[in-house]
Amino acid sequence: MFSRILGTGAYLPQRELGNKELSLMVDTSDEWIVSRTGIYSRHIAAADEATSDLAFHASRQAIDNSRIDPASIDLVIVATTTPDLVFPSTACILQDKLGIHNHGGAFDIQAVCSGFVYALSVADSFIHSGMHRTILVVGAEVMSRIVDWTDRSNCILFGDGAGAMILQASDEEGIIGCHIHADGRYVAQLCVPAGVSRNPDINAKLSMEGSSVFRMAVNTLDEIVDETLAASGMQKSDINWLVPHQANIRIIQATAKKLGMSMDQVIVTVGSHGNTSAASIPMAFHEGVSQGRIKQGDIVLMEAFGGGFTWGSVLLRR
């Protein structure tokens, strides 16, 4: 039993925040941001938009593109760092908004920027086990709510958005392999240092040691590429497309170089989306599919690195 992607969807909030406007809010410039990150603009959720709202629009599109009855979805998994509420899960809220009342399961996964890779690996395992047949997997974030807009080193990076996939059981190969990892020794280097049971009174804003995170990301993504290829018995030349987490153009370029791939074989959305954490890979994949670049039968490598530290990969045949 394999799991295959039936359809995809994506959603970006209406408001676009470009570098020029951002430079009026904090001491920075378009040239400085682009040269270091490759980001030109990002989208920001409206005051009345929650993560589940973004997830709803992306999910509705994925359902329509899959041509399935929403009632056939027997599990909803949402990868997010910015849930609507402490509880219930954003997945439960989304399930209700979609009108899926068949008592299928619903839960959130929190692995920050690696969240969607983690969520796909869990969904794939459920399908392999025979426990579920049709799964909605979503990455959705409103990162703008936890960004310190006075911190010019970090606020330039992040944006809001959502991406979704419908995964279904099939006798044809889809997901070839998933690999996930974590190392909690580095918690302080990328975190929001407040929560429910620790530091609840601190203003919860993202904190990141940029240079350290960059180095760790490049090194671990190099390793996950080798691990993924070795486990699948494939060569670098077998991969048609790289769909990386959209954090920084320099990290993306380093991974492409590791694979010996031209940037023409890499789906890059960081320039117009910024870093949307768990939403970045499904949104980039959707863009590649909707533009006709990623075609049926193509081999696609997804890889991500995030706070925790967490990292992982998914290798699949479209």
Catalytic residues: 113, 245, 275
Interatomic CA distance for residues 4 and 150, integer angstroms: 43
Distance, CA of 137 to CA of 76 (rounded, Å): 6
* Strand ranges (E), the chain: 2-11, 15-18, 41-44, 75-79, 105-109, 134-142, 160-170, 175-182, 190-191, 207-208, 241-244, 299-306, 310-317
By the 8 A CB rule, do 166 and 105 touch?
A: no
Measured CA angle at 269 (ends 56, 278), to 5 deg: 45
Tokens of 195: 């929560």
8 A C-beta contact, residue 257 and residue 234 = no
